[in-house]
């Protein structure tokens, strides 16, 4: 009987050892699978972070764009930009041009032209104005610019009469 008890205890210990080895192998497989899932999760988390930054940047741009938010139309926007840059209302005329409807968006071209023959525009003044027009409105882009030498009597070598086309792009059918 003592021999049978020893065999039973040894058999039970053998079963525990085999069971422990099986559990260890199973845990290793689970750990390997979790490592693989973790690498995928890390990539997904990085992508979520990148998209979050992209979306918050776009939201910030939309929040500061008065035209895109619908709080200001292009004509008053151009007038505001002219005032900010020291351009008087009569120095440039603003006229909406043709509107072109394309798949998913509509383009309206605005023409700004110098009408005061006695007004000279320096290149820096023109550049600052164009920079402000594009920088503060995401839907407006300078699409064409011509500079004719100013015909004013006191015109210097760097005095110009600008003609500017600004394209407003609006999404349609969203």
Cα separation values, 123 from 91, 92, 147, 148, Å: 15, 15, 9, 11
Q: What is the pLDDT of residue 54?
A: 93
Q: What is the pLDDT of residue 47?
A: 93
Closest among 67, 63, 79, 84 to 137, alpha carbons compared: 67
Indicate the helix (H) or strand (E) that contains 106: strand 105-114
Q: What is the pLDDT of residue 50?
A: 94
Per run of 10 residues, the mean pLDDT along the chain (length 174 residues) is: 77 88 89 86 90 90 78 83 82 83 87 81 87 84 85 76 87 72
Q: What is the pLDDT of residue 174?
A: 56
For residues 82-116, one letter each, b for 16 or more C-beta atoms within 10 angstroms of the residue's C-beta and e for the rest, the string is beeeebeeebbebeeeeeeeeeeeebbbbbbebee
Q: What are 172's two structure tokens?
A: 């349609």
For residues 12-21, one letter each, b for 16 or more C-beta atoms within 10 angstroms of the residue's C-beta and e for the rest, the string is eeeeeeeeee
DSSP for 149-174, written as a single string:
E--STT--TTEEEEEEEEEEEEE---
What pTM value is reported for the model?
A: 0.63
Q: What is the pLDDT of residue 52?
A: 94
């Amino acid at each position: 009987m003592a021999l049978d008890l020893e065999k039973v205890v040894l058999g039970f210990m053998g079963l525990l050892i085999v069971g422990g080895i099986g559990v260890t192998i199973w845990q290793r497989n689970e750990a390997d699978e979790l490592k693989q899932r973790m690498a995928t999760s890390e990539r997904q988390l990085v992508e979520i972070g990148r998209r979050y930054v992209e979306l918050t940047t776009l939201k910030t741009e939309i929040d500061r764009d008065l035209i895109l938010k619908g709080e200001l139309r292009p004509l008053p926007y151009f007038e505001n930009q002219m005032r900010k840059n020291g351009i008087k209302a009569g120095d440039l005329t603003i006229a909406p041009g043709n509107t072109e409807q394309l798949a998913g968006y509509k383009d309206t071209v605005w023409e700004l032209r110098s009408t005061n023959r006695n007004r000279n525009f320096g290149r820096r003044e023109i550049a600052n104005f164009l920079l402000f027009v594009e920088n503060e409105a995401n839907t407006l882009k300078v699409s064409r610019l011509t500079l004719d030498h100013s015909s004013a009597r006191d015109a210097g070598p760097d005095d110009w009469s600008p003609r500017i086309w600004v394209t407003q792009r609006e999404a349609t059918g969203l």
